Structure 1
Amino acid sequence: MGIIFSIVAAKADDDELEETYKMSVYVHDYSSGGPNSTDIAVVGIPGKIWSFTQFGTLFVCDDAITEGPEPNSEPVGRVQGISVTTSLEGIRALVAFSIVFTNKAYNGSTIEVQGNSNQFDSVREYGVASGTGKFLYAQGYVTYETYFFDPWTSYAVSRCNISIRMPPRHHWCTLIS
């Protein structure tokens, strides 16, 4: 199974072509608190249990991204970032993370994502703020769909659907002579 990926060229306002990228990858999250955790609480309200439903709890993640949902599927990169439970009732979380590509085609390129969502929605949507490398100046959105969750081991797999637009590259110039 390969990355579901497409590029579409579309006319921009000035008759130049902009590129649209669409891809789906799978994010593997281990949040058990054990030695193999890739998502852990690092700070919270003193005297309260630090959990994803407790207002003020901050998490840091470094999750693997693969082409398919299986843990041994071809690696694509990492999701590295933070999330904090921002609603008093523990439903909403603010996230800011980088999709850091390590595969051959996009090695070193990133897509920068941020947003606030209901943690219990089956599909969560976030904005793409920017990107680096091959995704410089990216704009768009990312959706996360829970694909699999094992409450006993706190292991989750999410399908990450990425849809971004890139401006025409010939308009990129250096302002320093």
Structure 2
Amino acid sequence: MAQGVVLGPKAVEKWFDKIPHAKEKVTKFCCYFHDIVSGKNPTVVQKAQANMTTKSLTFFRYVAMADDPLTVGPEPNSTIVGRAQGIYGSADQNEDALLVTLNFVFTTGKYKGSTLSLLGRNPVFHQYREMPIVGSRADSTTLGA
């Protein structure tokens, strides 16, 4: 592809199909992660904040570490399939939005031993949000690869 040329999704798909060694594999699944920020066993712990953070409406400059349960359902007591482990911080002065870097570590079920790495912006009060997956590791023994 020439530098500066912008291709649409169909053109990119056509280009991808012409690569002789490329095999696309699509896996769809759903899981939920639960930030528990208070109580006896929080899964998110604040690690840093600037003196001005509490004066910000968006908690700009807040940084936290997370080790959240990943479950098959939206209820916190649903079956745990792994952990969402990483760091996030409030990175927007005008909207409640986080810079998130998380590893989804699957500990049970079909994907046991596999991971997904996410990195991106999370506008926390938007009903629907998408996070980019920037890396992964599939455990070949559990996926049959």
Report the TM-score range of the alignment, normalised by the length of the smaller protein: 0.7 to 0.9
Is it true that 1:103 corresponds to 2:108 in the alignment?
A: yes
CA gap 1:68/1:46 in 2 versus in 1, 3 angstroms? same
Q: CA deviation at 1:105?
A: 1.9
Unaligned runs of 5+ in 1: 1-10, 136-168, 170-177
- In the aligned structure 2, how far is the partner of 1:23 from the partner of 1:52? 35
**1:20-48 superposed Cα distances (whole Å, 9 cap, x missing partner):** 1111112122112x331111211000264
Q: Is the 8 A contact 1:66 1:74 kept in 2?
A: yes
**1:111-158 superposed Cα distances (whole Å, 9 cap, x missing partner):** 0001013221111211110111349xxxxxxxxxxxxxxxxxxxxxxx
Is it true that 1:18 corresponds to 2:24 in the alignment?
A: yes
4+ long deviations beyond 6 Å: none
2:73 is aligned, of 57, 68, 76, to: 68
Q: CA deviation at 1:52?
A: 8.8
CA RMSD of aligned residues (A): 2.5
- In the aligned structure 1, how far is the partner of 2:97 from the partner of 2:65? 16
Structure 2 counterpart of 1:99, which letter?
F
Alignment of 1:1-177 (within 5 A): 12-14=17-19, 16-32=22-38, 34-46=39-51, 48-49=53-54, 53-134=58-139
Q: Is the 8 A contact 2:53 2:62 kept in 1?
A: no
Aligned residues: 125
**Greater CA deviation, 120-129 or 12-21?**
12-21
Unaligned runs of 5+ in 2: 1-15
Give aligned-pair identity as a percent. 32
- In the aligned structure 2, how far is the partner of 1:84 from the partner of 1:96? 9
Structure 1 counterpart of 2:84, which letter?
V
Q: Which has the higher strand share?
A: 1
Structure 2 counterpart of 1:27, which letter?
F
Q: Is the 8 A contact 1:55 1:90 kept in 2?
A: no
- In the aligned structure 1, how far is the partner of 2:31 from the partner of 2:42? 20
